Amino acid sequence: MIITPFLVIAMIVVFVLLFLFFKTVDKRKWLVLIVSLVLTPFVYFYMLYPFINIVSNYHHQKYFNSEAWIEKPNLRYEMIDSTIASDTLIGLTKEKAQQLLGPHEWLTWSEEIKAHDENKWNYGMGIEPGAFNDKTECVEITFTDHKISSLKHFQQDITFEKNEKE
């Protein structure tokens, strides 16, 4: 376990709150102090820490891996930040991009040509963990002269198809 300033501050806050609560129950300060010291780690690690993990939007960051990109499309969001920051895919040809990323999942609609743009590939990347997350992660890869020129990370609302049985 890594001791961070947040951990220390949170433990102090939990201790003070427990101490104040138990002080209303029992007037013996030595007993209140011992009970608060014993219960603080349990309250922190079994109540506060899980709650923080549920509502926070933290996820692991990974480097780009072609095999993982193709085999686990719902975990692509873990790779996209480092891929964009390092320009890993910039300059690759369409053939090499299809070999590394697999076939595109959909094409961007272009109002100019009133059709799907063959130079803008899109991939779904899954849903980032978090209690209040209602968006799915996506990336748009733009080609210029048959080479990747940019990657644009965006979010879409999660939609569910209705299964109408009559």
Answer yes or no: do 124 and 88 share one domain.
yes
Alpha helices in 26-159 (DSSP H): 29-43, 49-55, 66-71, 77-86, 94-101
pLDDT, averaged per 10 consecutive residues of the chain (166 residues), comes to 78 85 84 82 83 74 91 90 90 94 91 90 88 87 94 88 68
Answer yes or no: do 132 and 81 share one domain.
yes
User: What residue numbers bound the domain in which 111 lies?
Assistant: 66-157
Answer yes or no: do 44 and 72 share one domain.
no
Cα 43 to chain centroid, rounded: 26
Answer yes or no: do 84 and 51 share one domain.
no
Which residues have a Cβ under 8 Å from the Cβ of 77 and sit 6 or more positions away? 59, 125, 126, 127, 128, 137
- What local confidence, expressed as pLDDT, does residue 71 receive? 93
Q: Which tokens sit at 84? A: 């964009």
Is 14 within a domain? Answer: yes
Q: How many domains does the chain have?
A: 2
Q: How many helices (H) and strands (E) does the chain have?
A: 6, 4
26-58 pLDDT per residue, tens: 888 888 888 888 888 888 888 888 887 777 766
Is 162 within a domain? Answer: no
Answer yes or no: do 34 and 106 share one domain.
no
Is 146 within a domain? Answer: yes
Is 60 within a domain? Answer: no
Q: Cα–Cα distance between 147 and 91 in angstroms, integer?
A: 5
Q: Which tokens sit at 127? A: 């849903």
Average pLDDT, rounded, for the chain: 86
Is 124 within a domain? Answer: yes
Q: Cα–Cα distance between 36 and 42 in angstroms, integer?
A: 10
Is 44 within a domain? Answer: yes
Is 140 within a domain? Answer: yes
Q: Cα–Cα distance between 11 and 20 in angstroms, integer?
A: 14
Answer yes or no: do 85 and 122 share one domain.
yes
Answer yes or no: do 105 and 149 share one domain.
yes
Is 39 within a domain? Answer: yes
